[in-house]
Amino acid sequence: MIDRRPPYLQRETTRWRKTVWYVRKERHGPRIRLKADYGTAEFWQQYQDALSGLSKRIDRATAGSLAWLVERYRETTAWTTFSLATRRQRELILRRVLAAAGHVQAAKITTQHIAAGRDSRSATPMHARHFVDTMRGLFRWAVEAQHVKTDPTLGVKYPRLPKTGGFVPWSEDDIATYERHWPIGTRQRVWLDVLAYTGLRRGDVVQLGRQHVRNGVAHIKTEKTGTLVAYRSCHCSPKPLLPVHAAT
């Protein structure tokens, strides 16, 4: 039988008969363990992170340090109940924070530190806002769990967002021009039809594939809300995907 396992993905069975998965890119290089359940969206996200270098082995953090606090935070429902997209966004922010200040005792983080972190991201106001949200979520939990006495994010304001017109939405003429250039059956046409006619968020669109389709109906659980939605194909209409139902 041909092994169709993705590159660098290794499986081992522990002495307790538990299956664990690792990524090792070099023959004698370090192994990165994937902690999510095999086959889940989070598992494949961790796999991609390991390949790209976003995931690294982390040495045991000193008790009470910011790195230690983040490790405890990741073990709680305050973290795991976030959608996969939110966790990934905040994880990237936390990694940058820990690279700079992971050794600092969490109790010594002040409002001035949080404000400085926000201001260092002033060139990208939305990124600065996400930084504040990430640190606020961490320290609100930490205060409740009695790991720290005060929340240093209290009083830290969001940066002002520039007033812009945003991205220019496509008109019906723009869509018609694109459809004439890319007929049904091409990859370029698929992404437009799925985006335009399902109403799915970007994070769900990139997950939707043939594995979700049964008897002409596509079923997918949305990443953000966990809602199960379904769409049926309709070859008699210029809109090939039409909503069928939504159920939690």
Q: Model confidence over 8-23: pLDDT tens digits?
A: 888 888 888 889 998 8
* pLDDT above 80 for 244: no
**Which is more confidently placed, 77 or 227?**
77
Overall pTM surpassing 0.85 (yes/no): no
Q: How far is CA 221 from CA 130, 195, 203, 210, 247, in A?
A: 25, 16, 11, 14, 9
What band does 169 get if pLDDT is binned at 50, 70 and 90? Answer: confident
Asked whether the predicted pLDDT for residue 70 surpasses 60, the reply is yes
- The residue among 207 and 149 whose pLDDT is bigger is 149
pLDDT, tens digit, for every residue of 126-160? Answer: 999 999 999 999 999 999 999 999 999 999 999 98
For the cut 70, the answer to whether the pLDDT of residue 235 exceeds it is no
Alpha-carbon span 50 to 59, nearest angstrom: 16
Q: What is the 3-state secondary structure (H, E, C) of 74-121?
A: HCCHHHHCCCHHHHHHHHHHHHHHHHHHCCCEHHHCCHHHHHHHHHCC
Per-residue burial over 212-241, b = 16 or more CB atoms within 10 Å of its CB, e = otherwise: eeeeeebebebbeeeeebbbeeeeeeeebb
Please report the pLDDT score of residue 237 as a whole number.
Answer: 43
Q: Regarding predicted confidence, which is higher, 3 or 151?
A: 151
